[in-house]
């Protein structure tokens, strides 16, 4: 009954209460695991594949859309099996939760603090610094 808690180092602003809530609320008996997530607040647009001149193809309903964050928590044996199955099938997985989905597991969404941002561009650093200073 070992667990794997997977975290992305590009998310330095995660707080201990979110991690505790993820551990406490993840129900391994009924679900494949749990991930921290935040509900989408903005209007979401599906764009054309033309990256040079993208256009809006459709406005998506945001009511049931969430931003997947880390950490993500799974039973270690199930996660190993899911990752191996996805790899052998050549499936495209973008995080551990998508490997679990591929293997047929349901993944719980555990509401996270919106300050748990991912740093992907230099412009993200000042906001991360602000959140980290506020948490001291």
Which two tokens mark 12?
Answer: 């330095």
Distance in angstroms between the alpha carbons of the first and the last residue of the chain: 35
According to DSSP H, which parts of the chain are helical? 16-25, 76-89, 96-102, 125-134
pLDDT at 136 over 80: no
Mean pLDDT on 9-19: 96
Q: Is the dihedral of CA 69, 74, 77, 81 positive or negative?
A: negative
Query: Of 28-32, 73-77, 127-131, which gets the smallest average pLDDT?
Result: 28-32
Q: Is the pLDDT of residue 28 over 80?
A: no
Domains of the chain: total: 1
**pLDDT for residue 74:** 97
Identify the CA nearest to 23 among candidates 8, 11, 33, 38: 33
pLDDT reported for residue 135: 82
pLDDT at 18: 97
State which residues form the domain around 83: 3-134
Instruction: Convert the pLDDT of each residue in 32-91 to its tens digit.
Output: 899 999 999 999 999 999 989 999 999 999 999 999 999 999 999 999 999 999 999 999
Give the CATH number for residue 108. 3.90.550.10
Segment 15-40 mean pLDDT: 92
Residue 28 neighbours by CB distance under 10 Å: 15
């Amino acid at each position: 009954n070992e667990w794997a808690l997977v975290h992305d180092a590009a998310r330095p602003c995660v707080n201990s209460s979110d991690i505790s809530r993820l551990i406490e609320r993840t129900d391994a008996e009924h679900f494949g695991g749990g991930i921290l997530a935040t509900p989408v607040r903005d209007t979401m647009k599906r764009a054309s594949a033309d990256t040079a001149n993208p256009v809006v193809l459709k406005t998506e309903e945001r009511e049931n859309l969430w931003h997947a964050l880390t950490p993500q928590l799974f039973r270690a044996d199930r996660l190993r099996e899911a990752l191996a199955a996805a790899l052998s099938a050549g499936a495209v997985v973008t995080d551990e939760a998508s490997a679990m989905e591929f293997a047929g597991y349901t993944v719980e969404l555990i509401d996270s603090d919106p300050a748990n941002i991912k740093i992907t561009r230099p412009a993200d650093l000042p906001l991360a610094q602000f959140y980290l200073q506020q948490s001291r």
